[in-house]
Chains A and B, each alone.
Chain A
Amino acid sequence: MENIETKLREEASRLLLEKKVDVIIGYEKGTLPLTATPCFITKPEETEKLVWNNFCTQNLAKYVHDLITQHKNSQKRVKPEDRKKKIIGVVARGCTTRSLIIHLQERQCGRDEVYIIGVPCDGYVDGKGLKAAISGADIVDGSIDGGQIKMKTSDGDKTVDLKDVLADCCKTCRFNNPIISDVMIGSPAPAMNPDAEYEDVREFEGKSTEERWAYFTKEMDKCIRCYACRQACPSCYCPICFVEQSQPQWVGIGEDPSDTQVFQLMRLYHMVGRCVDCGSCVSVCPMGVDLRKFLKKIDKDCFEFFGNRAGSSMEDMPPLGKFDEHHDKGDFVYNP
């Protein structure tokens, strides 16, 4: 990874110097041990901050969308001939590029407004999983060494295998290398284990209706309605989310279980053909709600019904934007 970091910094610095991009969205070291956090780089000398490691969690496509929207809004009152173009560079792994493809397919930005610095990815560490693996101890210091995370914790020295604490979405990732990029740093990462990606969903499908409902309600009971999942999601970019519709109100703002369930249900369902399984929503959730169990089902249906994997190809159309007369199944239609 060291090598990739060096090349990444060089490339980022070159892009800024040559004014190919106005800003680069990447990751820098966090203030806590074993963390990385999104950062925005506008000066070549700041590129030294950039890091690329297994703690780079967030899907940065979200910020690309934010910056483009802000820029577009700032240009609204400018005469068309005087409008400036802003090009956003982004450090992108496989899932980030999938989200960018979705944005492009949904006409959220032009391909020339984004400069994709592709990086290979061997998965990121699930912070909550890591914490659970060390029985909730506080990490005082740590490093990754030869596939192992070595830590000093409040409970003594601990070592865990990196592959054991990777996020679930990374363990079974199918697209861990960028699908589209303007420049590629490093060589492609080895494949993960995509054959197992629907194992959890299949197991859950095998349960009874009441068991499934019990699990859904149990998970939703954890939710504190902080909306971190929605905010972290690159596909959740509605200017006003339905839960924030207040005139009239669509969903109650309180802790009533049905309100929380409806919020989550509608957000999850809004992800048909749009969830790239980047795991951002899962990683940001402060309460550890198992959102992936439900999102992965949507992904599976989308693939099994329509042969679509969200954001996996620039040539695809959004699956809910088309219809295939010959292959779409009709068994959901009720015929008395």
Chain B
Amino acid sequence: MARRKFATLKSFLNYIGVEGDRTIFTWVSASEGDRWAQVIKGATEKIRALGPANKLVKKIG
């Protein structure tokens, strides 16, 4: 089940040292425009607070 995968993935990424706030899951219905905006706003704030992601990112050149 997808939600079980999400739960374990979030926990595991946090465990190896990828900040917990970088992995965000939620459910938004196509009819919930307002909630969608809230989610994106909240997510953006969280990510901005953490700064650029460098972990697991490949650099070439």
List the interface of chain A (C-beta within 8 A of B): 204-205, 209-217, 252, 256, 258-259, 261-262, 265, 268-269, 272, 294, 297-298, 301-302, 305-306, 319-323, 328-329, 332-336
B6 touches A320 (CB 8 A): no
Q: Contacts A258-B56, A323-B4 given: A336-B41 contact, CB under 8 Å?
A: yes
Q: Give chain A residues whose Cβ lies under 8 Å from the Cβ of B43.
A: 334
Closest to A321 in B: B1
Q: Give chain A residues whose Cβ lies under 8 Å from the Cβ of B5.
A: 272, 320
- In whole angstroms, how far apart are the Cα atoms of A322 and B4 in the complex? 8
Q: Contacts A294-B15, A301-B11, A305-B8 given: A262-B56 contact, CB under 8 Å?
A: yes
Q: Give chain B residues whose Cβ lies under 8 Å from the Cβ of A204.
A: 15
Which residues of B3-42 have CB atoms within 8 Å of chain A's CB atoms? Answer: 3-12, 14-20, 24-27, 35, 38-39, 41-42
Report B46 CB to chain A, min CB distance, Å: 9
- B15 contact from A297, A306, A322, Cβ within 8 A: A297
- B19 contact from A209, A319, A322, A335, Cβ within 8 A: A209
Q: Give chain B residues whose Cβ lies under 8 Å from the Cβ of A258.
A: 56-59
- In whole angstroms, how far apart are the Cα atoms of A211 and B17 in the complex? 7
Q: Contacts A258-B57, A328-B3 given: A333-B17 contact, CB under 8 Å?
A: no
List the interface of chain B (C-beta within 8 A of A): 1, 3-12, 14-20, 24-27, 35, 38-39, 41-43, 55-59
- In whole angstroms, how far apart are the Cα atoms of A269 and B14 in the complex? 12
Report B11 CB to chain A, min CB distance, Å: 5
Which among A301, A322, A328 has the highest number of chain B CB atoms within 10 Å? A301
B7 touches A336 (CB 8 A): no
- In whole angstroms, how far apart are the Cα atoms of A285 and B60 in the complex? 28
Q: Give chain B residues whose Cβ lies under 8 Å from the Cβ of A334.
A: 24-26, 39, 42-43
- In whole angstroms, how far apart are the Cα atoms of A6 and B15 in the complex? 46
Which among B1, B24, B27, B38 has the highest number of chain A CB atoms within 10 Å? B1
Report B43 CB to chain A, min CB distance, Å: 7
- In whole angstroms, how far apart are the Cα atoms of A301 and B16 in the complex? 14
- In whole angstroms, how far apart are the Cα atoms of A284 and B4 in the complex? 30
- In whole angstroms, how far apart are the Cα atoms of A215 and B55 in the complex? 13
- B9 contact from A213, A269, A302, Cβ within 8 A: A269
Q: Give chain B residues whose Cβ lies under 8 Å from the Cβ of A322.
A: 1
Closest to A264 in B: B16
A301 touches B25 (CB 8 A): no
B25 touches A332 (CB 8 A): yes
Q: Contacts A334-B42, A336-B38, A336-B42 given: A269-B12 contact, CB under 8 Å?
A: yes
